[in-house]
Structure 1
Amino acid sequence: MDLRFRNRHGGVRPISFPTQPPAMNLLSCIHDTAPIIEAKDSDLGDLFPPGFLDLYEVHSYRNAARILAHACPAEFAEITARLMAFRIRTEDIVAAGGNKSQIAKSMEQMLNPLGWNETRIRGDLFITKMIVTHEEKRRIAGKNRGQTVTEQRQHDEIYKVQGFIDGHKIDFVKGRVAFDLEWNSKDQTFDRDLYAARTFYECGIVSAGVLLTRSAELAPLFTEVARRVEMKNFQNKYGSSTTWMKKLLYRLDAGRGGGCPILALGIRPAVVSDFDDWKARHPVIRHAVSLDIDGHDDEDEMG
């Protein structure tokens, strides 16, 4: 803002006013220098077996990795050992969808015999309403005869909220560890999984949860698959609205897991065991194919 002021001698000089109030400048400085609070663990140390990080992207929230390693060592060792041996075939990626993918079935076949089972909890909420009444009475005997005293009485009323906790299901639970696999679902499924994990945790049933999904590092591999298969909707099948690690992390960063420690694992290309052989047997039939997992899936073109 620029105004002009005429003085008593006839001279004119401009008057300038600050465009931003000083308070706003102060707030900007505070916001820029404020320390960041986050639940993500920066150092995982040597908690995982050698080679594990080559197979899986790892993100630990609220000390999940340390809690699992030290409070639930048997379950943690079992799950990491099984994941080290877990492999995916390229044909499983290409296979048409259904109620349950072959990848999910393979995980069940691997974990169910060890006692990792689908678990659901339900519970009713009982509420005690405590009502306190006060009643004035006059003493008719004793040392304080004739004085008025106030007596306090309490009676309770019990109410029940049926099904207060209901429908919360986790794919695999053993001991105090919850484990969920989301290979290819709509990304909103992560909200359901995190809500279930935090409910199990808040009810004291588990100490931590593990969520396994796809790492973004699989995107180039999926693009190569899309160039070599007849499935025109392959990009949509594994598009940006499905369960990629990025969609899970922003939910965890926003605190949607509540206080439950969560270990997020992302499947890396090394888990796909036969991709080079499969690629050699399947020549390119499409060009200009790309898979943008950030929200801009390009349409493929026949070449």
Structure 2
Amino acid sequence: MDRSYQPGYYVDNCKGRVLVDVEWNPKDGNADRDLAAYRAWYEAGAIDGAVMITKEIDSCRSLLKTLQDDFYTEHPELQGKKRFANYGTTTTVSLTTARKRFQRGGAGPCPVLIVAIGKKTWDKSKCTGATLKDKKGGSEED
């Protein structure tokens, strides 16, 4: 499969015969569409499987709360003025909704790996604004 496309639908990435879709905050219908596409392509012999990357909603909410608290500690003058992302909606894809759709057979026989990103994947030390060269003690000329 040299192109991951069907009319009106693209897949984020394709490595060999495996599709990789990042579904971070789309509506639930997108997960149904993705799984149906995986199923059709698998049954047609075009792919060997798929990977869906999404979020683990409760863990992301916890991370957001931590980041928000840290931000307001550093910038108390912005308390109540700076709006943060809201992970309160129940109509977007997350690990829970993707798993339910997969378990009810949305992908048919197509093997699908669902990867969920959450608080444990956050490495706060990497968000300091320092570049890798700064951390290694290098300079722009290196």
Q: TM-score, normalised by structure 2?
A: 0.68
Paired position in structure 1 for 2:18: 177
Number of residues of Structure 1 aligned to a counterpart in Structure 2: 116
Aligned partners of 2:13 and 2:32: how far apart in 1?
17
- Counterparts of 1:124-273 in structure 2, within 5 Å, are 166-216=7-57, 217-227=59-69, 228=72, 230-231=82-83, 234-235=85-86, 239-273=89-123
CA distance in 2, matches of 1:239, 1:184: 10
One-letter amino acid of the counterpart of residue 203, structure 1: A
Structure 2 distance, partners of 1:223, 1:239, is 16
**Structure with more contact order per residue of length (Cα contacts < 8 Å, sep ≥ 6):** 2
Contact 1:177–1:207 at 8 Å: present in 2 too? Answer: yes
* Residue matched to 1:119: 4
* Equivalent-residue separation in structure 1 for 2:115 and 2:127 (angstroms): 26
Letter in 1 for 2:124: D
User: Shift of the alpha carbon at 1:276?
Assistant: 9.2
Tell me how far apart the structure 2 counterparts of residues 187 and 215 of structure 1 sit (CA, whole Å): 14
> In structure 1, how many angstroms separate the alpha carbons of the residues matched to 2:110 and 2:55?
21
* Aligned 8 A contact 2:62 2:119 in 1: no
Contact preservation (8 Å) 1:168, 1:199: no
Runs of 4+, deviation exceeding 3 Å: 225-229, 275-278
1:62-101 equivalent positions in 2, closer than 5 A = none
Counting helix residues as a fraction of each chain, which structure ranks higher? 2
Separation in structure 1 between the aligned mates of residue 88 and residue 112 of structure 2, nearest angstrom: 24
Task: Give percent identity, aligned residues only.
Answer: 28
Indicate the RMSD between aligned Cα atoms, in angstroms: 2.6
Please give the alpha-carbon distance, in whole angstroms, between the structure 2 residues aligned to 1:259 and 1:168. Answer: 21
Partner amino acid, structure 2, of 1:119: S
Q: How far has the Cα of 1:202 moved from its partner?
A: 1.5
On the 8 A contact 1:170/1:197 being kept in 2, the answer is: no
Structure 1 residues 276 and 238, CA gap change in structure 2 (3 angstroms): farther
Q: Is the 8 A contact 1:118 1:171 kept in 2?
A: no
Structure 1 residue 274 displacement after superposition: 2.2
Q: What's the offset of the Cα at 1:247?
A: 0.8
TM-score norm. by structure 1 comes to 0.34
Gaps of 5+ in 1: 1-116, 122-165, 279-303
Distance 1:267 1:214 in 2: 5
**Structure 1 residues 120, 180: closer, same or farther in 2, change over 3 A?**
same
Aligned AA for 2:64? F
Cα distance in 1, alignment partners of residues 35 and 29 from structure 2:
10
User: 1: distance between equivalents of 2:60 and 2:3?
Assistant: 27
Structure 2 portions without partners, runs of 5+: 73-80, 129-142
Q: Secondary structure at the match of 1:189?
A: helix
